Amino acid sequence: MTDGRAPRGAVLSVVGPDGVGKSTLIDAVIAGSLDGHDIMRIRNVGLLPRRTLPQVPVTEPHKDPPYPPLLSLAKVAYVYADYLLGWWLRVRPFLRGGGWVILERGWWDMAVDPTRYRMKLPSRLLWRLGRLLPHPDLLLVLEAPAEVVLERKRELPLEELRRQSRVWRERLPASQPHVFIDASLPAEEVLVRAESEVRRMTGALPATRSSSPVNLPRSGDPRWVLPRNSSAMAAGALRVYHPVTPKGTLGWEIGRVAAGLGLFGLLPRGGAAPEAVRAAVADWTPPGGSIAVARANHPGRHVALIMASDGSARAIAKVASDEAGLGALEREAANIRELAPHLPPPLVGPRLLAARRGVLVLEAARWSPRPRPWHLPEDLARSLGVFFGGDGGSSELTGASHGDFAPWNLLKTGEGWVVLDWESAEPNGPAWHDLWHYIVQGHALLRRPSASAIKRGLEGQGWVGAALRAYAGGAGLSPRGASASLPAYLRASMGTLDPTTPDGRRGLEARRKLLLSGDD
Amino acid sequence: MSETRRWVLVTDGGHGGSRDCVAAVRALHAGGYRSAVTVSPGTSPAAVSRYSRRRIPVPHVAQDGYVDALRAELERGSYLTVVCASEASLRALGEAGLHLTDKTKLNEAARATGIDIPVSRTFTSWREVLAESESFTYPLVVKPAVRTFSALRVDAPERLRALDLDDGEIVIQEWIEDGLHALSGVMWRGHLVAATAERWLRIWPTDCGLASAAVTVASDPVLEDKLERLLEDYEGVFCAQFAGTRLIDLNLRVHSSHSLSVAAGVNLVATHCDLLNDMPVPRMRARVGFFYRWLEGDLRHVVQASRSGAMSRASAVKALLPHRGAAHSSESLRDPGPLVSRLIYGAGRVRMPPEQRAQGRSETG
């Protein structure tokens, strides 16, 4: 599931107060576990010129007075821009070649001890800015009791050493992988601990920096995990999301343009897709390919878009780990085999490529977003009616029903309209259910059609009226039955909604009001 | 399209503009129902929420003919139900579960279902209370067994003797310092269908008052079970109030802080109407963290607490800071009538002599 390039290097940063043994440790690590690697050992990531100081040991790091606030701010801006520039133009190319960058101090050191850098700024600003910078892969924070450090180098007062030690513990963000090492231990033990952490970090790294995925949203449990091995793959990965609202469609289009331009490479590295999902789809992932994963609303369920190395979609996999999810996938597979083939054109069911316990693999459809997804064209409504009534039409009250025919489960493709999510389908569903479900779900969650448009539709007006007639025609039902079937659908579907979810609440409220609007 | 009924008759037995009545009308509107409000003669049109579609003149609840007029209106219109927004109207209509509005009977029933109650003594008359005044532990709370006046905190025997209360059954309860909280809900066929648990942050009046600031919290399932048993024969909206673990009051009607339930996603009045309409209603619990403020009460609480030194100035300012998305009592820019009416009334009271002011308070309290 990687693009097969050489393993990349990493950025290792070592920090801690003077006298704690940073240089000694770096020398030992380079000579030890990193022996044979290309090493770039730096104190400053940047490229821009800096005032050079005589190369003498620092004995009083706080002796120079800090700059006034404005000048401090200007210095921070300069150093920040320089850090970014250096990271992209110097560090990244070196990492791509498999090299290791060893950084002594770095940005966090400035945030902990701004006085050393002659800054007179709130440290909160420096911490905030630091969070936006690319982070080292591992930060080794060497710490020791202040008395021990003081004994080694008498540079900073005891109180200041204690403060710094406390700040390192309290302020480092969770997004920066870090480990604290007791530097008061013998040097050999410190080295063993540091090398063990470096090995652990190396094992957890993706094969290439560019193959590390993007998590959206960045904080908390991400909804999407998107690969960015290449611009094409990043853009293709966004097809794991099917936008149905104008805002969603706009964001999706902007995201695709940004991904195509390679801008996803600027986003911070996120966590990998869940191991269970990766394992479930491994057999269908082509060499050099990757997967984009979307978390479903139910815990433990995911949708994975399987892509080739050029970013083209190969398949869609639905993965479930919970008992209810396993049952839902089994039902869906059975319904796709037995009921979906009866859909008349232009509606078609998805092509089932494979079904195993906990995973369902479907052929990926090449869909395009619809500007008005809540609108159900007449020919589709007729097909839905034919699906319900069977070939000869039906005078029965029950027939084939998809069960969850909603705007987001209908994809427009060049070859027809693909209907997804078959887990609720049944051969003996109630008449009108699919049609009302489509209209009411759109009304509840997309705010279209409006309640008055639905009411006008019951009087035969507008596209809702046309869809009702077309469905009735296809199913062999009387259009007059639509009016009586709506309250029955509303009441029945209210029992299936979960009031603890925002969508469930909106769905319930919309149905209540539609029921009540009948009293006008 | 359906057989549902949308019209609901709301009555507080008075001017139709009490906070409870306004809360009921607004909640019905939010839930898609239409309300007709009963108003007694002389009511200012501004006092009633603009969301009430009809105003039905009826005699005051204390006068003869109130119940007959109400029944006549119910027969005339196609109402789904009548929502009582005051204890007086509830009693006048003889709604089910009324025995629980009697504190003595409520205490017995609560004890039987395992709900803690404050240490209480019931007296048949005020004279009897005065005769025993030296034997009580102070501070204490004086309540009518059946609500005719608001509960009072009394700190000393001489304060108790200075009170001039109507004769009738009186309950003397221990004073409890524990935090106040409430659980409002809808009972239906023996089940607590919908519920909102709220913690009261401040109350007005500061001793024995109603929530002036509250926040929704997670509901306690054990307490829910006990209340379900207590109210198993009752169907409708209720609000049970607690001091710590002890039940101190139970209202079998819509409560003034009902807007908090609506904001937290559980419209209790509309849910009860849905159930009467035979609509499917899932089990609902209010989302936590929603804030409620009764602006007038909260201002008065904070000013009094600040003046008495119970609250620092900084705390007072912090307490009054606006909360985004807060639910309010009768204060609303979209429905300003009740607030304007209250302001006019308040301005009028400033000019009143103190004796008349005290009388006015008991009428509106």
Q: Which amino acid is at A142?
A: L
- Residue B356 pLDDT class (50, 70, 90 cuts): low
Using a CB-CB distance cutoff of 8 angstroms, which residues of chain B are in contact with residue A502? Answer: none
Do B84 and B159 lie in one domain? The reply is: no
Residue closest to A110 by CA, chosen among A152, A79, A148, A134 = A79
* Contact at CB, A495 and B274, closer than 8 angstroms: no
CB A422 within 8 A of CB A340: yes
What DSSP character marks residue B195?
E
> Is the Cβ pair A515, B31 closer than 8 Å?
no
Q: Is residue B281 part of a domain?
A: yes
Same-domain status, B195 and B272: yes
Does residue B81 lie in a domain region? yes
What is the DSSP secondary-structure string of A419-455?
E---TT-EEEEETTHHHHHHHHHIIIII--S-HHHHH
| Cα-based distances in Å from B142 to A354, A425, B149, B244, B247 | 74, 63, 10, 19, 15
B44 within a domain of the structure (yes/no):
yes
For residue A461, how many other CB atoms are within 10 A of its CB?
12
- Among B60-64, B142-146, B360-364, name the one with the lowest average pLDDT: B360-364
Contact status of B4 with chain A (Cβ, < 8 Å): yes
Q: Would B350 be classed as within a structural domain?
A: no
User: Is B279 close to A515, i.e. CB distance below 8 A?
Assistant: yes
Nearest by CB to residue A458, choosing from B1, B6, B281, is: B1
Is residue B183 located within the same domain as residue B285? yes
Q: Which of A449, A378, A436 is nearest to A403 (CA)?
A: A436
The verdict on B188 and B251 lying in the same domain is: yes
Would the pTM of this model clear 0.80, i.e. be above it? no
CA distance A517 to B255: 27
Residues written for chain A = 520
The yes/no answer to whether this complex scores an ipTM above 0.90 is: no
Strand partners, B121: B172
A100-104 and A39-42 as β-strands: parallel, antiparallel, unpaired? Answer: parallel
* Residue B81: CB atoms within 10 Å: 19
Judging contacts by C-beta atoms under 8 Å, the chain A residues touching residue B219 are none
> What is the tally of structural domains in chain B?
3
pLDDT of residue A242: 93
- CA torsion sign, A50 to A54 to A56 to A59? negative
Smallest Cα–Cα separation from B280: which of A256, A58, A515? A515
On chain A, the residues whose CB falls within 8 A of the CB of B1 are: 455, 458, 483, 486-487, 515, 517-518
The C-alpha atoms of residue A407 and residue A415 are separated, in whole angstroms, by 18
Adjacent-strand bridge partners of A142? A181
Q: Give buried/exposed letters for A238-277 (b at 16+ CB in 10 A, else e).
A: bbbbbbbbeebbeebeebbebbbeeebbebebbebbbeeb
* Successive 10-residue mean pLDDT values, chain A, 520 residues: 50 87 87 82 85 59 82 91 90 82 89 86 88 89 86 80 87 86 88 85 57 76 86 91 93 92 81 87 85 89 92 94 94 96 95 95 94 96 94 69 96 94 94 97 96 95 97 92 93 92 94 81
Say whether the peptide bond before residue A449 is cis (omega within 30 degrees of 0): yes
pLDDT over threshold 60, residue B104: yes
Helix H segments across A205-274?
231-237, 246-260
- pLDDT at position B112 over 90: yes
Indicate the CATH number of A11-209 among 3.20.20.120, 3.30.1300.30, 3.40.50.300, 3.40.50.2020. Answer: 3.40.50.300
> For B196-225, what is the mean pLDDT?
95
What is the number of residues in chain B? 365
Boundary of a domain, candidates B32, B58, B93: B93
CATH code of B137's domain? 3.30.1490.20
Is the bond preceding residue A407 a cis peptide, omega within 30 degrees?
Answer: no
Nearest Cα residue in chain B from A500: B284
- A460 Cα to chain B: minimum distance (Å): 14
pLDDT at residue number A17: 83
Q: How confident is the model at residue B108 (pLDDT cuts 50, 70, 90)?
A: very high
Whether B196 and B282 map to the same domain: the answer is yes
Looking at B174, B195, B216, the residue that finishes a domain is B174
Q: What is the pLDDT of residues B247-284, one digit of tens each?
A: 999 999 999 899 999 999 999 999 999 999 999 999 99
For helices A462-475 and A451-458, what crossing angle results, to 10°? 50
Nearest-neighbour CA in chain B from A470: distance (Å): 20
CATH classification at residue B77: 3.40.50.1100
Claim to verify: residue B134 and residue B239 sit in the same structural domain: no
Residue B12 lies in a domain: yes
Is residue B22, in this structure, part of any structural domain at all?
yes
> Residue B75 has what pLDDT?
92
Helix and strand numbers (H, E) in chain A are: 18, 18
Determine the pLDDT at residue A8. Answer: 61
Percent of chain B whose predicted confidence (pLDDT) is above 90: 73
Cα A248 from Cα A369, distance rounded (Å): 10
B 10-39: CB under 8 A from A: 31-33
| Partners of residue B188 on adjacent β-strands | B191
Taking contacts as CB-CB distances below 8 angstroms, the residues of chain B near A487 are 1-4
Q: Do B185 and B170 share a structural domain? A: no
Q: What are the angstrom distances between the C-alpha of B274 and each of A48, A216, A445, A517, B26?
A: 70, 40, 21, 13, 16
Q: Is the Cβ–Cβ distance between A472 and A481 less than 8 Å?
A: yes
Q: Where are the domains of chain A?
A: 11-209, 210-367, 370-517
DSSP A265: G
Contact B283 A499 (CB under 8 A): yes
Identify the domain containing residue B217 by its residue range.
Answer: 98-105+179-295
Q: Which amino acid is at A66?
A: P
Q: Determine the Cα–Cα distance for residues B107 and B172; give it in Å rounded to an integer.
A: 12
